[in-house]
Amino acid sequence: MSETDIIKSQHPGANGAAQDVVLSVRDMCISVPGEDGPISLVRNLSFDILKGRTLAVVGESGSGKSVSALSIMRLMPKTTITTGGVLLHGRDLLTLKEREMEDVRGNRIGMIFQEPMTSLNPVFPIGMQIEEVLHRHGKGDGSNLMQQVIRLLDKVQIPNAARRVSDYPHQLSGGQRQRVMIAMALACSPDLLIADEPTTALDVTTQANIVDLIKQIQVEDQTAIMFITHDMGVVAEVADDVVVMRNGNAVEKASSREIFEAPSQPYTQRLLSAVPIIGSMRNSTKPERFALIGDEPAAPAPAAVAQGAQGTVLDVKDIAVSFEVAAGKSIFRKNVVRAVKGVSFDLKAGETLSIVGESGCGKTTVARTVLGLQQIDSGRITIGGKSMTDIGKQQLREVRRNIQMVFQDPYASLNPRLRVGDAIAEPMLAHGFSRGEALETARQLLEEVGLTADMVTRRPHEFSGGQRQRICIARALALKPKVIVADEAVSALDVSVKAQVLNLFMDLQDRYGIAFLFISHDMAVVERLSHRVAVMYFGEIVEIGPRSAVFGNPAHPYTQRLLSAVPVPDPSRRSHIGSVQSEPVRRDDLVTGQDLTKRSYRDLGGGHLVLE
């Protein structure tokens, strides 16, 4: 029985539609020339996508999922060798001439990319860009082209479509731009839509809206969709069938339900075990390690020292931060953007406080303020009982020893020219350790974070993303800080690596009683890791409290919306089309005067506060 038969046999009664194969990929192998012969990227990939159904291709970075999509579109560089068959309604795309292929792209197959910020041309109005696609493929003529464009924008639910056609990309939000991209991809009513990580760069609530839109369009147009993603939650939300890829091989192919309920391959099981599931922590108040199947040794028994350390290590009172931005054309008139408004929280030893919110809500600014990388307008920050505001440079350095940071991008946060040992030793050297002492500690720290001591002489480019993040953690640990700020520290990592790094965080906390200030937009990760959670929205904390209270009983409407938007990796809990609330209207956050708003919080008990 071939794979096609397996997939077909699972949906025997799909009223004849099952026979309607739109895209059939047969034994596709992709390789690129390398210095020592060709390098194989994808091996013997076969799958079918049926009309009106969605095939999700999942896998971690480097698994070959995007390469496959680009090869189907024949968008890979000329030197790439693709063998096998890619049949669109029985016509093999691999044998087409480039001219013929151009008629297929955008016409029979539409494609949506990951980055909505860069996939639209900034110098043309959006209407014109969609019109171009229609014009290129000879759909309609002259006057009715614009009509079609407006209809398309309506279809992707852009409000006031008729007026927005002359807008330029920069006037739209990320979510709206992705809608425009979808409108472009759908312009010629293609048979197949390829979506390559279309929601990865978006906020959760926006992601939920876009996923919802794609599902709606599929119901209306019966388009076949190839959906590439690494997010199991999104897979559960959209997919009918799933192909799991790893290192260029299809590891498992099955219906979405089977993948989630009874994954047969160990890799799939491991992938799923590493996905944090929101709501899975309802019955506990403490953070919990991921039970990873396979490649990780059991956690060392946590030493009990941690519990001894108590008391507040970080106290933030009523801080405000504003930025000046140019207003209009004059260089003298400035508008003030208030990024952080009256934020207060405290952090106790051995505790994890997570700050969640969407991009632009001010969470990163808060992190930077706490570290002294950003000046505050007003308010007070106290670390380990010592004030960070109103003190000299020398004292500030001493206070700062107690607070260290792990950054989001492990590739950018290590100087490529420095050896790993030197990078870890740097904070110690800055605080008067001798070189030998610092390097010796660096060796120990590497062991501590699950690497080996002999790696001190290697350079960052020899390490993977997850290993680099471990190195960054070792560097943050070097001065034995009381607080570590982790700004989106796991967002750039693959699921299984992410789970391992999160486990490392929790182990270190158990061992040393370090307090973590964890900045994230990923609600499921936050639920797993935190003792307490603060939700930020437009520069304010709208809700703060114990994790179980905030997740179990969200009181602020924004928190509720945020939680409902998180995709759950369980197809049976799939949200219904149209159930997601639409994107919020942005409040005007440009102000020129002082912040006079008096913020008052309602106390729901147990430290659970909600902005009124």
Alpha helices in 25-169 (DSSP H): 65-72, 98-104, 126-136, 142-155, 161-164
Contact 539, 322 (CB under 8 A): no
Distance of closest approach, residue 316 Cβ to another protein, in angstroms:
17
Contact 24, 4 (CB under 8 A): yes
Alpha helices in 187-310 (DSSP H): 204-221, 232-238, 256-261, 266-273
Ramachandran bin of 140, using left for φ above 0, alpha for ψ from -120 to 50, beta for the remaining angles? left
Nearer to another protein, 50 or 381 (CB): 381
Contact 341, 537 (CB under 8 A): no
Nearer to another protein, 246 or 368 (CB): 368
Nearer to another protein, 223 or 520 (CB): 520
Nearer to another protein, 255 or 382 (CB): 382
Which backbone phi and psi does 28 adopt, to 5 degrees? -75, 125
Residue 4, amino acid = T
Closest CA to 207 of 523, 474, 455, 476: 523
Distance of closest approach, residue 355 Cβ to another protein, in angstroms:
18
Nearer to another protein, 135 or 459 (CB): 459
Nearer to another protein, 411 or 601 (CB): 411
Binding site for another protein (CB under 8 A): 371-373, 397, 400-401, 403-405, 407-409, 412-418, 423, 426-427, 429-431, 459, 461, 472, 475, 478-479
Nearer to another protein, 489 or 495 (CB): 489
Distance of closest approach, residue 477 Cβ to another protein, in angstroms:
11
Residue matched to tokens 């070097």: 478
Dig out the tokens for 267 from the structure: 């890799």
Distance of closest approach, residue 332 Cβ to another protein, in angstroms:
16
Q: Sign of the CA dihedral 474, 399, 492, 574? A: positive
Residue matched to tokens 């945020």: 562
Burial class (CB in 10 A: 0-12, 13-18, 19+), 513: buried
Distance of closest approach, residue 128 Cβ to another protein, in angstroms:
31
Nearer to another protein, 265 or 387 (CB): 387
Q: Sign of the CA dihedral 559, 169, 488, 41? A: positive
Distance of closest approach, residue 30 Cβ to another protein, in angstroms:
20
HSE on the CB side for 464, CA within 13 Å? Answer: 11
Distance of closest approach, residue 238 Cβ to another protein, in angstroms:
34
* Pairing outcome for strands 532-537 and 515-520: unpaired
For the chain, the first-to-last Cα distance in angstroms comes to 62
Indicate the SS3 state at residue 287.
coil
Distance of closest approach, residue 404 Cβ to another protein, in angstroms:
6
487's enclosing H/E stretch is strand 483-487
Contact 302, 284 (CB under 8 A): no
Contact 236, 569 (CB under 8 A): yes
Distance of closest approach, residue 415 Cβ to another protein, in angstroms:
4
Distance of closest approach, residue 485 Cβ to another protein, in angstroms:
9
Nearer to another protein, 516 or 538 (CB): 516
Nearer to another protein, 337 or 396 (CB): 396
Distance from C-alpha of 21 to C-alpha of 15, rounded to nearest angstrom: 13
Distance from C-alpha of 550 to C-alpha of 477, rounded to nearest angstrom: 30
Distance of closest approach, residue 77 Cβ to another protein, in angstroms:
12
Nearer to another protein, 425 or 526 (CB): 425
Nearer to another protein, 35 or 390 (CB): 35
Alpha helices in 460-556 (DSSP H): 465-477, 495-512, 523-529, 547-552
